């Protein structure tokens, strides 16, 4: 029983320590890694599944379209004193360019953590 308890505590500590906070650069890199292989394949529906409806879409030349997808991750608070705390949004954003056939042509990812 004692060995089980020690093993459980060690496993818990390993899992707890492995979840370091994500930086903005890491979050952006994760978005780029996710969507880079989908250039030429992904459609608006792929973005809607992850972000919800686009914030806006603008037609570009020759039937192409650019859309902005935005997802609030959470509200974060910084500061020590109760009266001086400030909030900011942690978010993911992708501005995606779609070709005439509706597939992803190019994108720009942005994230704040």
Burial class (CB in 10 A: 0-12, 13-18, 19+), 97: middle
Q: Answer yes or no: is pLDDT of 2 > 90.
A: no
Angle, vertex CA 43, rays to CA 97 and CA 113, nearest 5: 65
Tens-place pLDDT, residues 46-63: 999 999 999 999 998 789
In this prediction, residue 106 carries a pLDDT of: 97
Tens-place pLDDT, residues 11-33: 544 444 444 568 999 999 999 99
Domain residues for the domain of 54 are 41-113
Taking the alpha carbons at both ends of the chain, their separation in whole angstroms is 42
Q: Does a structural domain hold residue 84? A: yes
| 76 in Cβ contact with 88 (< 8 Å) | yes
Q: Does a structural domain hold residue 16? A: no
Q: What is the largest CA-CA distance in the chain?
A: 70
Q: Does a structural domain hold residue 23? A: no
State how far the Cα of 79 lies from the Cα of 16, in Å rounded to an integer.
24
Q: Does a structural domain hold residue 33? A: no
């Amino acid at each position: 029983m004692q060995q089980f308890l020690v093993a459980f505590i060690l496993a818990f500590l390993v899992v707890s320590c492995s979840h370091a906070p994500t930086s903005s650069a890491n979050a952006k890199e994760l978005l780029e890694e996710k969507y880079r292989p989908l250039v030429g394949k992904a459609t608006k529906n792929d973005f809607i599944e992850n972000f919800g409806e686009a914030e806006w879409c603008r037609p570009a030349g020759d039937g192409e379209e650019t859309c902005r997808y935005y997802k609030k991750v959470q509200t974060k608070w910084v500061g020590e004193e109760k009266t001086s705390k400030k909030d900011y949004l942690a978010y993911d954003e992708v501005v995606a360019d779609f070709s005439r056939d509706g597939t992803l042509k190019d994108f720009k990812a942005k994230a704040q953590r």
